[in-house]
Amino acid sequence: MSNQRSTSNDEDLLLQDFSRNVTTKSWVLFSGNAAVVSAIPLWLFWRIHQMDFSSYFIHFIIGTVVSTYFLNLAYQNMKFILKHKIAQKREEAVSREISKVFASDRKYK
């Protein structure tokens, strides 16, 4: 019974690693990075172009929130794509290692 349970836990962990869902920690990290990147244009418009911050406050906030949302989605998609590429690159090495283990087991039998 415990062997079936550990197999199920291993399968659940593997499925969780390759799902498009991100953990809360990753989501917070992505949102923070996206907010910083989205807020940089505020400084550009306020200091460099000398736009009045109070008269364009609503536009700045809406633009920052929308761009933060889309950047967060882009970061999440890139995480999934990068994990998939890494898994493809590791696949050959893992299968080679497993083949060596099985070959050495056959030699001793």
**Contacts with 59 (C-beta within 8 Å, 6 or more apart), sequence order:** none
* Structure tokens belonging to residue 53: 């911050």
Asked if residues 67 and 26 have their Cβ atoms less than 8 Å apart, the reply is no
Please state the domain extents for the chain. 2-83
Dist. CA 42–CA 14, nearest whole Å = 41
The reported pTM is 0.64
Asked if residues 36 and 72 have their Cβ atoms less than 8 Å apart, the reply is no
**Mind listing the pLDDT tens digit for each residue in 42-91?**
888 888 888 888 888 899 999 999 999 999 999 988 888 888 888 788 88
Asked if residues 61 and 38 have their Cβ atoms less than 8 Å apart, the reply is no
